[in-house]
Homo-oligomer: A and B are copies of this chain.
Amino acid sequence: MLKAKTKNISIVLYKPKYAGNIGSVARAAKNMGISNIIVVGTTGFDREEMQQRSTHLAADVLDKIQYCERLDETLGGFNYIVGTTARLGKARGPFISPRAAACDIADISQKNKIALLFGPEDTGLANEELRLCQAVVTIPTSREFTSLNLSHAVMILCYEIFTASSGAANKEEITPKLARSQELEGMYGQIKTLLADIEFLNPENPDYWMMHLRRFFARAGILSREVMIVRGICRQLEWYAHHKKT
């Protein structure tokens, strides 16, 4: 997957009501590497209230906010507009998930200007605004309470775009490497010797307890550096056991 070109991505807030929410949106956007915000149809928000939520670390995003009057004019220069909604009327879709949208957005952002469009806190986007969109995202929620805070909705979509680009969601890439079989077998051999030395293992059937230990270590998914720690402990125990005997 290509990394999204975040300079080509803008968050467009249509008629937001609360300065605090705009500040929270700025923080969320910057956390996920997006710094273009356009506010359409409302203006005159208290700067201090915004910055209290954005924190001073995202104050640069607040400074860059563009304020526009009309939505159609604002969107005119964009190549791909992604609307967001919690209301699933038939005429409003088809809807895609934030994850599916993020994959498309990462690709499309390479050569196109993308607007992520969010509606007012109370009503969301109307059909009239959704009509301007090439894709409509709906964030999956519990049926009991579907209305997300504006900045939470922005965060989820931006997080999915960031994750799609970075491949960070990929379990394999983030999980550290497990120990190789030869490391494991060396460790098991050493444990077995130790447990035999201290007469824990039944000499008739030494592998009975060893199998339980193997299963435990396998389930835990032991790492190389953890094998080394276990072997260090075994070495020390062996030394101690022999000194006790002599």
Task: Spell out A's residues near B (CB within 8 Å).
Answer: 24, 27-28, 30-33, 53, 55, 57-58, 93-100, 103, 139-142, 144-149, 151-152, 155-156, 159, 162-163, 166, 168-171, 174-176, 223
Q: Report A37 CB to chain B, min CB distance, Å.
A: 14
Q: Are A31 and B96 in contact, CB atoms less than 8 angstroms apart?
A: no
How many copies the complex holds: the figure is 2
The 8 residue pairs across chains A and B that have the minimum distance between CB atoms: A33-B142, A140-B168, A100-B171, A99-B169, A30-B145, A94-B176, A31-B141, A152-B155
A140-B162, A146-B31 as given contacts; A100 in contact with B174, CB under 8 Å: yes
* A99→B33 CA distance, assembly (Å): 19
* A107→B152 CA distance, assembly (Å): 26
Query: In the complex, which of the residues B58, B93, B151, B174 contacts A97, with contact meaning CB atoms closer than 8 Å?
Result: B174
| A-B residue pairs in contact (CB < 8 Å), sample of 21 | A27-B149, A30-B142, A30-B145, A31-B146, A31-B152, A32-B142, A33-B142, A33-B144, A57-B147, A95-B174, A97-B163, A99-B163, A100-B171, A100-B174, A103-B171, A140-B169, A141-B162, A149-B151, A151-B152, A152-B152, A156-B159
Which chain B residue lies CB-closest to A100? B171
* A169→B138 CA distance, assembly (Å): 11
A55-B147, A57-B147 as given contacts; A32 in contact with B141, CB under 8 Å: yes
